[in-house]
């Protein structure tokens, strides 16, 4: 009890403390203003992700005969996620509109919030009951999908006819009234939750209450925004509290639909394992009509029935009802009396709760006076063995895939030729069997083209992506054109959750011009020994694979004799136990080292110093590429 109340008070006190820090946040208003669009987009992406995660739990884990409230609530968050997504897409800097607060953008987010509040209030007020309709999940999600499409079309088409919600740098009275209504709904919900929690002590109710508290604070920030006219600090804080509120919704749904059922299954599985250790086989006898004459405790426990529920009943319709093949009948029907036993594999028995499990069983005849009067069935649950066989098959497939991918990588890297006119050093260490880092160097006449990249993912897909990168470089195009080409292909043909960071450079030995373009990669280091100065090379372009409409641009510098160029992947500097990852230690190492060393020797010594700095800990693939001009 004390621990549960602590779970309630701590987030609330934290929220109050954070609210007091609002004045402090105004001190940094210039910083928030500078990065406002980025912060807003990031928070909207997180909100959309959490909303869709809630919806996917309902779609994936919902079980028939569970409470209809769970599936309806999860379905509603599909609409909430779509509304937040379109709010972000219609915001400043994104393709659909160009104003900071567009009329559709505000209506999308407002309707998403009101749908969420109305749904939680309605579901809390409605009586609790179990769903007996197995199609409730499909019906609920279909209805929500159609409603979402309709709402989106209406807002996109007729939003100009809606009341104005934003004017002259602040929200209108209508917007503020709706925010107050939203806040009052959640205050009412919180009151009901607190009263219910005192009665039933249900943890999921506690989580919904915590969510309502943070959503109240989110709405309160919107009201402050409308009153003060400041769209920076309060607006970001509102989204921050909304994310926390949605996260606690996610925890509540996860507890109801994922964690609790699996915890119960784990508990039953533990008891069932102890049972199998003492009694392995289940045994029952049936007469010629298929009715049970006797059954042992082991069989009852495995099938989930009590003895009196099966004695005298036709067992086929209880545990073997979906098997129509006569060859797998439980009755011993062999006319050959010398054949005393029949063995059946790849069969299934059904339990009382409707679940099924794989079995192997023997059937032996019960013979009286030379006549078969019944059958004894001895069966064994082979679930664990089937799982093990499946895991072994999957593991073999994974190993085969890794071997192919490793072969592709070996072929790619073995074809890289070092330029003859520039001293180059490189080193690449994989964290596991496959290397997620890519590098390539091509010399064409007086130009040296190179690239270094970090590919998200492993296995054959990553190896194929590396092949794509190598092929794109064969065109000998300018760096930014190579990135545009890769990004266009990548966003079109590669799955959404995959991406690439990449740095492409081109050095012209005649005029000493160095052109470069970066796609979300670690900045290159240009060291000028004569001035003992480092220049970080980056163009600020985003990752490859995010948006096909992104156009990558390039930078340009002039190199001098004795200059040093260093490029690396994030595994060189990033470690989980550090809050901030910096390349300053690399700069210091370079200053300390002998610049007269050959590039390869210099690279190897630098890598050794880096490993000493990290105390030998390796957490990712690591690649260094170095050029001495």
CATH number, domain containing residue 137? 1.20.1070
What pLDDT score does 625 carry?
A: 94
Does 224 lie in the same domain as 349? no
* End residue of a domain, out of 386, 405, 440: 386
* Predicted structure pTM score: 0.42
Q: Which residues are CB-contacts of 345 (< 8 A; sequence separation ≥ 6)? A: 360
SS3 call for 548: coil
Do 141 and 256 fall into the same domain?
yes
Residues 167 and 306 in one domain: no
The answer on 291 and 262 residing in a single domain is no
- Lookup: tokens for 175: 């917007």
Give the up-direction half-sphere exposure of residue 383: CA atoms within 13 A in the CB hemisphere: 13
pLDDT tens by residue, 341-355? 788 888 889 999 889
Same structural domain, 205 and 350: no
374 plus 518 within the same structural domain: no
Give how many domains the chain has, as a whole number.
3
Query: Is residue 82 located within the same domain as residue 137?
Result: yes
How much is the pLDDT for 605? 95
Could you tell me the residue range of the domain that residue 558 belongs to? Answer: 415-628
Q: Would you say residue 400 lies in a domain? A: no
Phi and psi at residue 406, in whole multiples of 5°?
-65, -35
Residue 575 lies in a domain: yes
Q: Can you read off the two tokens belonging to residue 129?
A: 């009951």
Residue 409 domain flag = no
The domain boundary residue, chosen from 227, 249, 270: 270
Pair (307, 434) in one structural domain: no
Q: Could you tell me how far CA 62 lies from the centroid of its own chain?
A: 19
In this structure, the answer to whether residues 600 and 523 fall within a common structural domain is yes
Indicate if 584 and 469 belong to the same structural domain: yes
Which residue among 386, 407, 439 closes a domain?
Answer: 386
* Averages of pLDDT over each 10 residues, the chain, 629 residues: 51 54 54 72 87 81 64 84 83 51 76 86 77 64 82 78 72 81 88 84 82 84 64 75 88 73 57 50 86 87 89 86 56 54 84 89 84 86 86 80 67 66 87 80 88 76 71 80 88 74 93 94 94 94 88 93 93 77 90 92 94 86 91
The C-alpha atoms of residue 448 and residue 438 are separated, in whole angstroms, by: 17
Q: Is residue 457 part of a domain?
A: yes
pLDDT of residue 395: 79
| CATH number of the domain that residue 447 is part of | 3.60.40.10
Q: Identify whether residues 367 and 254 lie together within a single domain.
A: no
Query: Are the C-beta atoms of residues 132 and 125 closer than 8 Å to each other?
Result: no
Q: Is residue 494 one of the residues assigned to a domain? A: yes
Predicted pLDDT at 202 = 78
| pLDDT confidence of residue 552 | 94
- The encoded tokens of residue 113 equal 């919030």
The pLDDT score that the predictor gives to residue 346 is 82
Q: CATH number, domain at 348?
A: 3.30.450.20
In a shared domain, residues 308 and 432: no
* 113 inside domain: yes
408 inside domain: no
């Amino acid at each position: 009890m004390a621990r549960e109340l602590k779970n309630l008070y701590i987030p609330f006190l934290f929220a109050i403390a954070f609210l007091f820090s609002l004045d402090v946040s105004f001190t940094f208003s210039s910083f928030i203003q500078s990065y406002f669009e980025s912060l807003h987009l990031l928070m909207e992406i997180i909100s959309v992700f959490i909303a869709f995660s809630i919806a996917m739990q309902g779609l994936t884990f919902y079980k028939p005969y569970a409470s209809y409230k769970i599936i309806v609530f999860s379905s509603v968050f599909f609409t909430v996620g779509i509304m937040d997504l379109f709010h972000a897409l219609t915001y400043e800097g994104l393709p659909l509109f160009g104003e900071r607060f567009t009329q559709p953008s505000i209506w999308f987010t407002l309707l998403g919030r009101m749908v969420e509040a109305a749904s939680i209030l309605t579901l809390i007020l409605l009586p609790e009951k179990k769903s007996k309709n197995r199609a409730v999940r499909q019906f609920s999600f279909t209805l929500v999908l159609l409603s979402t499409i309709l709402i989106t079309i209406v807002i996109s088409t007729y939003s100009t006819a809606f009341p104005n919600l934003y004017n002259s740098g602040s929200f209108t009275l209508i917007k503020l009234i709706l925010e107050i209504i939203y806040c009052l709904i959640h205050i009412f919900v919180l009151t009901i939750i607190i009263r219910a929690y005192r009665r039933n002590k249900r943890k999921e109710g506690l989580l919904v209450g915590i969510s309502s508290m943070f959503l109240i604070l989110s709405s309160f920030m919107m009201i402050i925004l409308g009153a003060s006219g400041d769209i920076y600090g309060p607006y970001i804080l509102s989204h921050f509290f909304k994310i926390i509120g949605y996260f606690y919704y996610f925890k509540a749904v996860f507890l109801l639909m994922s964690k609790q059922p699996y915890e119960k299954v784990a508990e039953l599985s533990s008891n069932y394992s102890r049972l199998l250790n003492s009694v392995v086989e289940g045994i029952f006898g049936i007469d010629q009509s298929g009715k049970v004459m006797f059954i042992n405790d082991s069989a009852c426990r495995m099938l989930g029935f009590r003895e009196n529920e099966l004695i005298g009943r036709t067992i086929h319709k209880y545990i073997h009802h979906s098997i129509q093949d006569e060859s797998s009948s439980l009755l011993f029907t062999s006319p050959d009396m010398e054949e005393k036993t029949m063995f059946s594999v790849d069969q299934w028995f059904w339990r009382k709760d409707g679940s099924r499990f794989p079995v192997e069983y023997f059937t032996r005849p019960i013979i009286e006076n030379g006549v078969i009067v019944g059958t004894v069935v001895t069966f064994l649950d082979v679930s664990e063995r089937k799982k093990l066989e499946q895991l072994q098959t999957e593991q073999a497939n994974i190993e085969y895939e890794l071997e192919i991918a490793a072969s592709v990588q070996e072929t790619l890297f073995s074809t890289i030729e070092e330029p003859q006119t520039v001293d180059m050093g490189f080193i690449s260490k994989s964290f596991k069997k496959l290397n997620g880092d890519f590098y390539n160097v091509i010399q064409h006449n007086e130009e040296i083209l190179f690239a270094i990249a970090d590919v998200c993912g492993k296995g054959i897909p990553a190896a194929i992506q590396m092949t794509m990168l190598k092929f794109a470089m064969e065109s000998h195009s300018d760096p930014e054109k190579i990135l545009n080409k890769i990004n266009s292909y990548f966003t079109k043909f590669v799955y959404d959750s995959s991406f690439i960071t990449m740095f492409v450079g081109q050095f012209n030995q005649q005029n000493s011009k160095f052109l470069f373009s970066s796609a979300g990669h670690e900045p290159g280091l240009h060291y000028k020994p004569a001035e003992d100065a480092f220049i970080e090379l980056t163009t600020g372009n985003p990752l490859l694979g995010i948006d096909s409409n992104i156009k990558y641009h390039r930078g340009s510098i002039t190199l001098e004799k004795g200059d040093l160029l260093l490029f690396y992947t994030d595994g060189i500097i990033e470690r989980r136990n550090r809050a901030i990852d910096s390349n300053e230690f690399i700069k210091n190492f370079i200053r300390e080292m002998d610049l007269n060393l050959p590039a390869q020797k210099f690279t190897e010594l630098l890598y050794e110093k880096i490993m000493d700095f990290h105390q030998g800990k390796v957490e990712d693939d690591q690649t260094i590429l170095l050029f001495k001009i």
